[in-house]
Homo-oligomer: A and B are copies of this chain.
Amino acid sequence: MARKPLTKPRKYASQGRSRATVDALIEATARILVRDGFDKASTNRIAEKAGVSVGSLYQYFPGKEALVAAVMKRHGEELMQVVRDALAEAAALPMEQAVRALVVAAMEAHRIDPRLHRVLAEQIPRMGRLENTEVLNGEIHALFRAWLDAHCDEFRPLDLGLAAFVCVTSIEALTHTAVVHHSESLSEEAFGALVDEATRLVVRYLQ
């Protein structure tokens, strides 16, 4: 029996007061993560910022990691919604436009909250197997792979798994790096140019 692999909330509070407390805690965690980084996000500080006592924090979360996991989950769901929508639209578009739509979606997903995204991305590896993150990642690969499969007659012969890995990883890296590390130095046009290039990268790779 592992001593503390707990990254799940203790209660799935759904009634008013509880729910508000939980939300305040998650929100506070996200804010502190953004403002001060993971290391400064102590349970006491989070509780204080949430306007709640430490005791309440521990009533709902078994520790700091669970809070960060909750933030990740929340953020991940927002991300996935963007990505899912984009892939749904992409189904009906001609290939190049479809790819472009995906790239744009990836960019938008990163732009939902770039600072938070960054901190979370950096902490994921340190948090001992976040199933949630892996699930999302897996879902993206699966969705993209399905899209490839549906359009495979438009491409050269592909190893779908490998191609999905190459495309998803590249798009992710390009949009992530641009948004997370160069947001301040890039103009809107530069982002536009990057979308063009990323699209070309993927399209030509698949052809």
Contact = CB atoms under 8 A, between A and B. Distances in A.
Interface in A129-176: 159, 162-163, 165-166, 169-170, 172-174
A117 to B, nearest CB: 12
A165 B196 CA distance: 13
Contacts of A17: none
Nearest to A128: B37
A197 interface: yes
Nearest to A121: B125
A122 B125 CA distance: 7
A174 B163 contact: no
Given A125-B118, A204-B205, A205-B201, A169 B174 contact: yes
A173 B169 contact: yes
A166 B125 contact: no
A163 B122 contact: no
10 contacts: A38-B126, A39-B126, A118-B125, A165-B194, A169-B173, A197-B205, A201-B201, A201-B205, A204-B205, A204-B207
Interface of A: 37-39, 118, 122, 125-126, 159, 162-163, 165-166, 169-170, 172-174, 177, 193-194, 197-198, 200-201, 204-205, 207
